[in-house]
Chains A and B, each alone.
Chain A
Amino acid sequence: MSLDVQRQTQSLLDELAARQRWHFHHILIVALIIAFLVWCANGVDLRPRETFSAVPVIADYFGRMWPPKWSFFSEIWKPAIETLYVALWGNVLATIVGVPLGLLAASHVSSSRIVRSSAMGILNVFRSISELIWAILFVAAVGLGPFPGALALGMNYGGILGRLYAEAIENVDKGPIEAMEATGASKLQVIMFAIIPQVLPQFVSYNLYWFEVGVRSATVLGMVGAGGIGFELITAIRLFEWREVGLILLFILAMVTVIDLASTYIRSRMY
């Protein structure tokens, strides 16, 4: 008996050793990956030596930012709050864009493949155009200010959230859907009572996360004239007002940290 067990253990150990042994094709794959990365390094014009010489230059810039020009605070708190508005309304618009398209892109909801792939296609377009490009387009279309910024976030994040929503819907428990259909509920009723309650915590969680990302992103949108603190930031950089830049960056850091903490807290309290 014990001899049997010993023999079996030994045979499993042997098999394990055989499985863990490096084979030629493993080495080949690793070599190919390294070769590919080296080839790409050529493409990005990688210069390791200059990376190190960049460090003191960057450090110098950060040195000039210190101490931050605290008096400048009275100038930036308004645009900073505007940045939050842009992120918030960008998120609302993204939800308005994402929920219907996400539903149409999910196979539990739309049985037609044409509808599904066109919804997915629209989401792909919205997503693949970055919010900065959207912002440039909307600034041209509706003029300068926070409104084009919110629209830009709405489009780009609508594409991202719509895709995430669709995936969440695909992963719900199908039992309640069947039960709802069996009661004679309409498609809309099935969505409202069997799907939405199941995916709601995930939807909220995605929205909170993309609100965090949106705040960071909205700080940049101002650089193309789409409202918020980004405009002050790019102006200060252009005027070489490094201590003003320092204050703005510090303020963004504080804002993003607070929002991260708040949203992490809310997400941990859900479900």
Chain B
Amino acid sequence: MLMPNAQNTTTMLSVRGLTKSYGGTIHALRGIDMEVKKGEFLVILGPSGAGKSTLLRCLNRLVEPTEGQIFHNDVQITGNRRNLRAVRRDFGMVFQQFNLVRRLSVLTNVLTGRLAYRSSWRSLFYNFPQEDKRIAIECLARVNMDHKAFQRADTLSGGEQQRVAIARALAQQPTVILADEPVASLDPKIARQVLTYLREVAHELGITVLCNLHQVEYTREYAERIVGMSKGRIVFDGTGAELTDDVIHRIYYRDPDEETAEEK
């Protein structure tokens, strides 16, 4: 299904009226509208519980949205669950807790990014084609982790694990990377390193990166565009320069429901 007005060819993601509620009482997302361009490095900023995580998980349908539409490259990806694997393959994901399989080698972890390209039966034998191995090693090299390819994932430090997780996402050859609080469990130095890798990915490979953060400091440093979320709504959309103290106050402390009432 084509998007009604698809004149902007560089739009990667388009979200329309996205809501997610649990049991009709808890509203995690209350109508999200946004457009994200190809190769954009977008930070979604907001306090815990603002719905950032739910938003990212709706995009690759780890969470099924209650209402609304998502267009990816002008193709609607909501509704139909048949192409789910193909959709998810296009969205790499990076997690706060890295979520590597700790007992598998670094390289095997990166190879799992190739699974959606291969048949299930082949996976019964933990077998990957030569091409996948080459892709995986290249992705590891991009995050400078190729020297630890054969170590078990649980022997790595947190920062190293997150770099491997980025390599796993890259191995999917995605058009979008969703990073859910990727630096929340890392120290500042390592956190900056990881964010730098993510920004490089956007600039050099033209991959759209949506990165959830709760730290204003990193957001100011890295974001080109910032979307501020509060209580399931977007309350700010602008550049780092426009992220004033007042805006931050609005994202973190003010109730968006009261605010819309005030404006009216």
Give A residues with C-beta under 8 Å from B: 173, 175-176, 178-189, 192-194, 197-198, 200-201
Q: A184-B85, A192-B124, A197-B104 are in contact. Are A178 and B99 (CB under 8 A)?
A: yes
CA distance A46 to B172 in the complex (A): 69
Closest Cβ of chain A to B140, distance in Å, is: 16
Closest Cβ of chain A to B195, distance in Å, is: 20
Q: Are B85 and A186 in contact (CB under 8 A)?
A: yes
| Chain A residues, Cβ within 8 Å of B168 | 179, 183
CA distance A214 to B101 in the complex (A): 33
| Chain A residues, Cβ within 8 Å of B91 | 182
Closest Cβ of chain A to B55, distance in Å, is: 14
**Which of B17-25, B108-116, B244-252 has 4 or more CB atoms under 8 Å from chain A?**
B108-116
Q: Are B99 and A188 in contact (CB under 8 A)?
A: no
| Chain B residues, Cβ within 8 Å of A198 | 101-103
Partner of A183, one of B100, B102, B113, B124: B113
B97 an interface residue at 8 Å Cβ cutoff?
yes
Give chain B interface residues in 51-101, CB to chain A under 8 Å. Answer: 60, 62, 84-89, 91-93, 95, 97-101
Q: Are A185 and B112 in contact (CB under 8 A)?
A: yes
B126 an interface residue at 8 Å Cβ cutoff?
yes
B260 an interface residue at 8 Å Cβ cutoff?
no
Instruction: Select the residue from A180, A183, A189 with max chain B CB neighbours within 10 A.
Output: A183
CA distance A76 to B172 in the complex (A): 60
Q: Are A189 and B123 in contact (CB under 8 A)?
A: yes
Q: Are B99 and A179 in contact (CB under 8 A)?
A: yes
Q: A192-B126, A193-B104 are in contact. Are A183 and B99 (CB under 8 A)?
A: no
Name 18 extra pairs, CB < 8 A, besides A175-B98, A175-B99, A180-B101. Answer: A173-B102, A175-B97, A176-B101, A183-B168, A184-B84, A184-B86, A184-B116, A185-B112, A185-B116, A186-B85, A186-B123, A188-B120, A188-B121, A189-B123, A193-B123, A194-B112, A198-B102, A200-B103
By Cβ-Cβ distance, the 8 closest A-B pairs, closest first, are A184-B116, A184-B88, A175-B99, A184-B89, A179-B99, A182-B93, A185-B115, A188-B120
CA distance A194 to B109 in the complex (A): 10
CA distance A38 to B85 in the complex (A): 62
Number of residue pairs A-B, CB distance < 8 angstroms? 90
CA distance A39 to B116 in the complex (A): 63
Q: Are B172 and A183 in contact (CB under 8 A)?
A: yes
- Taking CB as reference atom, which chain B residue is nearest A180? B112
| Chain B residues, Cβ within 8 Å of A180 | 101, 112, 115
Partner of B115, one of A173, A175, A178, A186: A186
- Taking CB as reference atom, which chain B residue is nearest A177? B99
| Chain A residues, Cβ within 8 Å of B124 | 188, 192
Q: Are A184 and B115 in contact (CB under 8 A)?
A: yes
| Chain B residues, Cβ within 8 Å of A182 | 60, 62, 88, 91-93, 178
CA distance A192 to B125 in the complex (A): 9
Q: List 25 A-B contacts (CB under 8 A).
A: A175-B97, A175-B98, A175-B99, A179-B112, A180-B101, A182-B93, A183-B88, A183-B115, A183-B172, A184-B172, A186-B115, A186-B116, A186-B120, A188-B120, A192-B123, A192-B124, A193-B108, A193-B123, A193-B126, A194-B101, A194-B112, A198-B101, A198-B102, A200-B103, A201-B103
| Chain B residues, Cβ within 8 Å of A176 | 99-102
- Taking CB as reference atom, which chain B residue is nearest A192? B123
| Chain B residues, Cβ within 8 Å of A200 | 103
CA distance A195 to B89 in the complex (A): 20
CA distance A178 to B93 in the complex (A): 10
Q: Are B101 and A183 in contact (CB under 8 A)?
A: no
| Chain B residues, Cβ within 8 Å of A179 | 93, 95, 99-100, 112, 165, 168
CA distance A179 to B100 in the complex (A): 8
Give chain B interface residues in 123-145, CB to chain A under 8 Å. Answer: 123-124, 126
CA distance A186 to B116 in the complex (A): 7
- Taking CB as reference atom, which chain B residue is nearest A188? B120
- Taking CB as reference atom, which chain A residue is nearest B96? A175
| Chain B residues, Cβ within 8 Å of A183 | 88-89, 92-93, 112-113, 115-116, 168-169, 172
Instruction: Select the residue from B99, B101, B113, B169 with max chain A CB neighbours within 10 A.
Output: B101
CA distance A183 to B124 in the complex (A): 17
- Taking CB as reference atom, which chain A residue is nearest B116? A184
| Chain A residues, Cβ within 8 Å of B102 | 173, 176, 198
Instruction: Select the residue from B60, B99, B124, B165 with max chain A CB neighbours within 10 A.
Output: B99
Q: Are A188 and B101 in contact (CB under 8 A)?
A: no
Q: Are B123 and A188 in contact (CB under 8 A)?
A: yes
Q: Are A193 and B115 in contact (CB under 8 A)?
A: yes
Q: Are A197 and B123 in contact (CB under 8 A)?
A: no
CA distance A93 to B47 in the complex (A): 53
Closest Cβ of chain B to A171, distance in Å, is: 14
| Chain B residues, Cβ within 8 Å of A193 | 101, 104, 108, 112, 115, 123, 126
- Taking CB as reference atom, which chain B residue is nearest A184? B116
